């Protein structure tokens, strides 16, 4: 039987629910969300955005800007979570 001739046993919503639960059972909730966000194409043009934000700045220049930013924040800077 050709694929085009097959009838689907589940509705689109049921298929999504079952697929989501299979992923959760296998990966857990957090990794399921991480996996699903990787499938999303996102929005906009990353190359254009990168050019607007960073222009011709070198990695060292970007690093220095970031370092100065975190120094200005001082105690207000977010802390890394403890393991």
Q: How many domains does the chain have?
A: 1
C-alpha 61/C-alpha 43 separation (Å) is 27
Residue 4 is assigned to a structural domain of this protein: no
For residue 54, pLDDT over 70 is answered with: yes
Q: Which domain holds residue 15?
A: 11-36+45-75
Residue 6 is assigned to a structural domain of this protein: no
Residue 82 is assigned to a structural domain of this protein: no
Residue 2 is assigned to a structural domain of this protein: no
Q: Which residues contact 54 (CB under 8 A, 6 or more apart)?
A: 62
C-alpha 35/C-alpha 25 separation (Å) is 13
Whether the full predicted model's pTM is greater than 0.85, yes or no, is no
User: Mean pLDDT throughout 8-26?
Assistant: 91
Instruction: Give the residue, 65 or 80, on which the prediction is more confident.
Output: 65
For residue 27, pLDDT over 70 is answered with: yes
Residue 31 is assigned to a structural domain of this protein: yes
pLDDT digit string, tens, across residues 4-16: 667 788 889 999 9
C-alpha 60/C-alpha 66 separation (Å) is 10
The Cβ of residue 32 has, within 10 Å, a number of other Cβ atoms equal to 17
């Amino acid at each position: 039987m050709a694929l085009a001739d097959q009838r689907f046993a589940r509705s689109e919503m049921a298929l999504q629910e079952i697929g989501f639960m299979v992923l959760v059972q296998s990966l857990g909730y957090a990794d399921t969300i991480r996996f699903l966000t990787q499938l999303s194409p996102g929005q906009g043009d990353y190359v254009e955005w990168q050019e607007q934000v960073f222009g011709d700045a070198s990695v060292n220049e970007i690093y220095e800007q970031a370092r100065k930013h975190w120094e200005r924040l001082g105690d207000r800077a977010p802390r890394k979570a403890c393991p």
